[in-house]
Amino acid sequence: MRKKNYNQVENKPAVLSDGTPVKDVYVRWLIDDEHDGAKNFAMRRFEIKPKTEVPLHSHPQDHEIYILSGKGKFYNDSGREEIVENGDVIYISPNEKH
């Protein structure tokens, strides 16, 4: 078992899986393989500045998003828009664009 506080984890500029940087988005890798030996799980905390757009992208693994604060728009590859806000939980299937 490992315990840490998110403030102990470096807040880094976010990049997409292809290496493209995402302006005004920062990520803390709270649990990952490199630091924690978690082979099948990752937990990240993102901070997204107001009016920021993250390019449509996908991942080979499924993942979840839990909105801690704020409000925004979320799109999938068919263009469907969802308004998200604090307390919302989003599940994203493997390879689903979002």
What are the structural domain ranges in the chain?
Answer: 1-55, 57-98
Q: What is the mean pLDDT of the chain?
A: 93
pTM over 0.95: no
The matching CATH number, chosen from 3.90.1150.10, 2.60.120.10, 1.10.3720.10, 1.10.287.70, for 57-98 is 2.60.120.10
**According to the model, what pLDDT value does residue 45 have?**
96
Structure tokens at 53: 């757009």
**What's the CA gap between 98 and 76, in Å, rounded?**
4
pLDDT < 70 positions in the chain = none
**According to the model, what pLDDT value does residue 81 have?**
92
- DSSP-assigned beta bridge partners for residue 16: none
**According to the model, what pLDDT value does residue 50 have?**
94
The residues, any chain, with a CB within 8 Å of residue 64's CB and separated by 6 or more, are 89, 90, 91, 92
